[in-house]
Amino acid sequence: MKRVVITGAGTINALGHDVPETIEAMREGRCGIRQLEFRDVERLSISIGGQVKGFEAEGRFNRQQMTLYDRFTQFTLVAAKEAINQSGLEFIGDLAARAGVVLGTAGGGVSTWDDNYRAVYEEGKNRVHPFVVPKLMTNAAVSHISMEYNLKGPSFTVSTACASSNHAMAQAFQMVRTGMAPAMVTGGSESMLCFGGVKAWEGLRVMSKDACRPFSANRNGMVQGEGAGVFVFEEYEHARARGAEILAEVAGYAMSSDASDIVMPSKQGAARAISGALRDARLNPEDVCYINAHGTGTAANDKTECAAVADVFGTHADDLMISSTKSMHGHLIGATGAVELLACIMAVRDGVIAPTIGYEEFDPECALDVVPNEAREAKVDVALSNAFAFGGLNAVLALRKV
Amino acid sequence: MNVKDKVIEIIAEQAVLEPSDVTMDSTLEDLGIDSLGLVESIFAIEEAFDISVPFNANEPEKSDFDISSVRQIVQGIEKLVAEQHA
């Protein structure tokens, strides 16, 4: 088995248009959740979200590209550029032939579906643009990254709702660990902040109208976000041989399925994924200093997640820190694990724990150190990133300081 | 059909029971309706009466809308229908 390290990171989300801006916002506990701005927003009862502002696709991409790039693909391209530039890798020859792209997304080109349904149903048009299908397909982002960077190895999209990115990164990690690929581009992207995308979530009645307050007794639901997180996972010796900067090591992962309910989370399913990741990374529970929680801010998730952590870690649960950065960037659905991995990188590399902002009231069912409201300095050797999806599909990654 | 009968019909359908098995004192728990079933029932009620019910599944007890029994639900719907169709 080979060791796997992260040599590049890129993002765009409500906290920033790149990694330094995002990390700074997480360190300062800044909130990126604001009034949503898009067509027909006044017909929604939920009007806040972690929307990417000040991002103009026009000018970045040419007219031909714009006909093919849904917003989720645009986000992916921006994040991938940052990550691959940072890694310094150039994909040519054997490296290009073996390196691929595995990304997560729950919805793919949601706003392309939305715009074109509107055209044919609401406006009564009988013709749509010829590229609607290649624009909205969930693998569009993967394919464009592959084409842009000459990545010719195993490439595909993983879609497991809110765990999509973690499942994708787990798969990419496994490919590098087994020697199948010397490097993989991985992460995820989501853009469903459009009328139809938010309206669908509204129906579940689990959305907050005012703020995402994970673990706080007065939490009242989740807040959607959008954006992308992309990483370069590289075999350790390959990275070392070329003197690449190493951000963190990916130490292990586990996946599990609750096999119980389509929306309600299960403590056992979550606990099996967490303990499985520890086993896979050959870690003891005491090694873990920080967990980036799934922490959606719903009543059900947060108490179930805290109970799962208490089960797995026993008395050590009281010594570790667990925070939810969704309080700042919102829930990026299929991209959320990718953006949240940045908080884990910040923890192991910089020794800074991102806070859970908006925390107001202690909840005895979430009685862990949730790093309320202010970032904290701490030496962290190992951090976990949790993702527990609708449908009961769970994926947990373990990062280690290098 | 009056509000009470319609609400009971919707709740009974969700619970897979006959309307006659649903009493005004029944609680959703008695009827075996879980949180997802409740959200579906509220959607059906909103559609049937063309109203909007203020209900957040994260804080059912804090919502303005009381779901502690069928009676409370019926009364709540009657009030909302009167307000929203005034």
Tens-place pLDDT, residues B13-31: 999 999 999 999 999 999 9
Of B52, B55, B58, the CB nearest to A299: B58
Instruction: Please answer yes or no on whether B35 and A264 come within 8 Å at the CB atom.
Output: yes
Q: What pLDDT shows up at residue B58?
A: 87
Same domain, residue pair A211 and A290? no
Contact status, residue A187 vs residue A231, Cβ threshold 8 Å: yes
What string of pLDDT tens digits covers the 402 residues of chain A? 999 999 999 999 999 999 999 999 999 999 999 999 999 999 999 999 999 999 998 889 999 999 999 999 999 999 999 999 999 999 999 999 999 999 999 999 999 999 999 999 999 999 999 999 999 999 999 999 999 999 999 999 999 999 999 999 999 999 999 999 999 999 999 999 999 999 999 999 999 999 999 999 999 999 999 999 999 999 999 999 999 999 999 999 999 999 999 999 999 999 999 999 999 999 999 999 999 999 999 999 999 999 999 999 999 999 999 999 999 999 999 999 999 999 999 999 999 999 999 999 999 999 999 999 999 999 999 999 999 999 999 999 999 999
* pLDDT band per the 50, 70, 90 thresholds, residue B49: very high
Mean pLDDT of B71-81: 95
Domain around A204: 4-241
Of A205, A208, A262, the CB nearest to B55: A205
Distance between CA atoms of residues A307 and A309, nearest Å = 5
**Among A189, A209, A241, where does a domain finish?**
A241
Q: Is the dihedral of CA A137, A138, A139, A145 positive or negative?
A: positive
Strands A227-235 and A248-257: unpaired
CA gyration radius for chain B?
A: 12
Instruction: Please answer yes or no on whether B43 and A203 come within 8 Å at the CB atom.
Output: yes
Same domain, residue pair A325 and A237? no
Distance between CA atoms of residues A288 and A277, nearest Å = 11
Same domain, residue pair A13 and A105? yes
Report angle CA A158, A159, A164 to the nearest 5 degrees.
Answer: 80
ipTM of the complex: 0.80
Contact status, residue A309 vs residue A274, Cβ threshold 8 Å: yes
Same domain, residue pair A304 and A181? no
CA A84 to chain centre: 18
- Cβ atoms within 10 Å of A362's Cβ, excluding its own: 12
The token pair at A68 is 């093919």
Same domain, residue pair A175 and A88? yes
Contact status, residue B57 vs residue A206, Cβ threshold 8 Å: yes
Same domain, residue pair A170 and A260? no
A154, containing H or E segment: none
Task: Kindly list the catalytic residues of A.
Answer: 162, 294, 331
Best B36, B56, B65, B84 member to test A by mutation, with max A CBs in 10 Å, is B56
Distance between CA atoms of residues B67 and B55, nearest Å = 10
**Among A200, A221, A241, where does a domain finish?**
A241
Angle at which helices B3-15 and B70-84 cross, to 10°: 130
What is the signed CA dihedral for A326, A329, A335, A337, rounded to 10 degrees? -40
Find where tokens 């902002």 sit. Answer: A357
CA gyration radius for chain A?
A: 20
Q: Which residue of B has its CA nearest to A302?
A: B58
Query: Which of these, A118, A147, A152, lies nearest to A132 by C-alpha position?
Result: A118
For chain B, which domains are there?
3-84 (1.10.1200.10)
Min Cα–Cα distance to chain B from A298, Å: 6
Tell me the whole-structure pTM to 2 decimals.
Answer: 0.95
Same domain, residue pair A343 and A230? no
- Assign A235 to helix, strand or coil: strand
Instruction: Please answer yes or no on whether B39 and A205 come within 8 Å at the CB atom.
Output: yes
The CATH number for A180's domain is 3.40.47.10
- Cβ atoms within 10 Å of A237's Cβ, excluding its own: 12
Q: What pLDDT shows up at residue A36?
A: 98
Tell me how many helices (H) and strands (E) chain A has. Answer: 14, 14
Same domain, residue pair A229 and A262? no
A178, containing H or E segment: none
**Among A241, A267, A297, where does a domain finish?**
A241
The token pair at B70 is 């069928």
